[in-house]
Structure 1
Amino acid sequence: MRPAMHRRRTELARIVSLLAFGLTACSNASSPTDAGPPTRDCDASDCPSRPTDSGALDASTTPPACRASDPSLPLAGIPEEVLVLRHTSSPCSTRETELLVQNTSASPLILDRVETSSATFLLEPLELPVTLLPGSTMPVGVRLSEEARGEQTGALRLSGPGGCSELPLRGIAADEAMLTLNRQALDFGVVEAGTTSETRDIVVLAQHAGDATSPTVDGVSASPESFQIVSAPSIPFALGSCAPVTVSVSFDAPETTGPVTGDLLLELARDGFAVFVAVPLRATVE
C-alpha cells in the first residue's frame, strides 16, 4: 500500500467527529454446520443462566464468566473484536452485526450454549447444539438493546462439553450518526494454490439523516493484487441512507502456500474531506 494512502487511513479516527453519517459493512458467510449429537445436561452450579426465547439474556440475571478452571475451547472470532453499532436516530439502526466463530482445532467441536455477558448485547436466534468441523465457522448475529446508550463492552460466551471461551464485544449507541466501519473481515477460507476462489459479496450500508447530503465513494480498490474486484457500482457513486451497495470480490491464490491478508478500500468524499476506510480480507492458500 502507498505510504500516503496509509497515512490518510490512519487519520480516520480524528475525522470521525466531523462527519454526520454512519457506515457499516457485512459479508456473506458460511452457514452453521449440522447439529451434533445430544450433549451433557448441566446444573445451575456449572452453567450460565439460560437465554430467553429472543436470544438475549434475562436482564435480571448475569451468567458467570468462564472460570479459570474451565478448559479453553479452541475458538477464534472473526474479527477479533466485534464493533456493534446502533444509531438511535437512524432508520436502519436495527441492523445486527455478524461475528464468525471459528473452530481452530483439528477435531470437531460441539457448542451447546451461546450467550452474552450483559443484556445490553442481544443475540439473534441460534439452533443449538451445533457441531463445528475443523476450520469451519458459525455466524452469530449481535445487536444492541434499545436501552443502550454510549459505549458498551461485554463478551460473547460459548460453552460445550469441552470447556468455555469468551470473545470480546464492543458497542456504540449514539443519538447522532457518525462515520465508522464494522471491522467484519471477508474470509475466503482455504483456496487451492494457483486457483481462483468463488466470488464473495460485501454489502456496504450508509446510515445518515435522510435530508443530509449523501457521502460519495470516489474509489474502490483491493490490495494486494491477489484480491480482485469482480463488480462494483460505477465510480463515483453516492451512498444513500439505508440503501445497500454490493461489491463483489474474488481471490486469485498464488503458488505460495500460507495465509494471505489484505483490504478492500473505499475512498469517501464528504464536506471537503477524503477518507479511506477498509474491510479486511483474508484467505489461506494450500
Structure 2
Amino acid sequence: MIETEPAAARNGIQVIARAAAILRVLRQNSTGMSLGQIAERVELPRSTVQRIVGALQEERLVIATGSGGGIRLGPEITALSEATRYSVVDACRQSLSDLSQRVDETVDLSVLRGTGMIFLDQVPGTHRLRTVSAVGDIFPLTTTANGRAALSMIPEDKARMLAEKEWARRGPSGNWDDLARVLEQVRATGLSYDIDEHTDGISAIGGGFHDDTGELHAISVPIPSSRFPDKKALVETALRDTLDRVRRMMR
C-alpha cells in the first residue's frame, strides 16, 4: 500500500516532535541519560527512542557520553545555540546601549535556559557605584526581575513547576500563591521588580520578549537601592520603550 502524502507529512511532523522532546529532556540533564531513562521521560517505547537517537547522532545533535551507555547533547546543538545567542545579542546591542545612556544605569540581557536566566550581554552604567554581573552568570527565576519577567510569559503550570524545582534545589521553600500574584501583576503591567530580594542593596526592573526562534529573553536594569526611588519612573518608561522596540525587531 502506497502511503498518501498527508499521512507521510503527519508522520514526519510526529518524528520531529518526538526528536524535539528528546532534545529538551537531554538539555535538562547535561551529564547524560540512558535510552531507558529518556524513554521513560518522553513516554515513548525504548525502540522508538533508539531509532530517533540514532538519527540525531548521525547529525551530531546528540553524542554518547565518555563513560559509554549514556546520551547527551552534541556539538552541533552548541553551535546552533551559539549562532542564536550572537544574533540576539547583535540585534539587541544598540537598544541596550541606548537604554543605558537614557537611564544612566547598567542594562542586562538574559535568556531562559533550563531552570535559570543566563546572562548574554551587559552594558555597564557610568556611575562609580553600579551593578555588574558577568556574561554567563545564571540567576534564579523566583527572586529576580528578569526571572519573574520570564515566568510571567510561560504557561502557569510550567511556571509553577520551575519555581518549585528552584525552591527545592535552593531552599527555603517559597509560596506559589504569593508568587502567582506577583506574576499576575507582571502580566498586567508588563514589568517585573526585584526590591532587595536577590541581592541586598540592589533593586531591578525587567521585562521579557520572545526572539524570532521563540526563545524567551529578558532585559533588566539593576540599580543600587539607594538610587532606586529616584530612578524608578524614568527606568519604567525607558524600559517599556526599549521592549517595544526590540519586540518589533523580533517579528
TM-score normalised by the chain length of structure 1: 0.25
Task: Compare relative contact order (CA 8 Å, sep 6+) and give the higher one, 1 or 2.
Answer: 1
TM-score between both structures, scaled by the size of structure 2: 0.28
More helix by share: 2
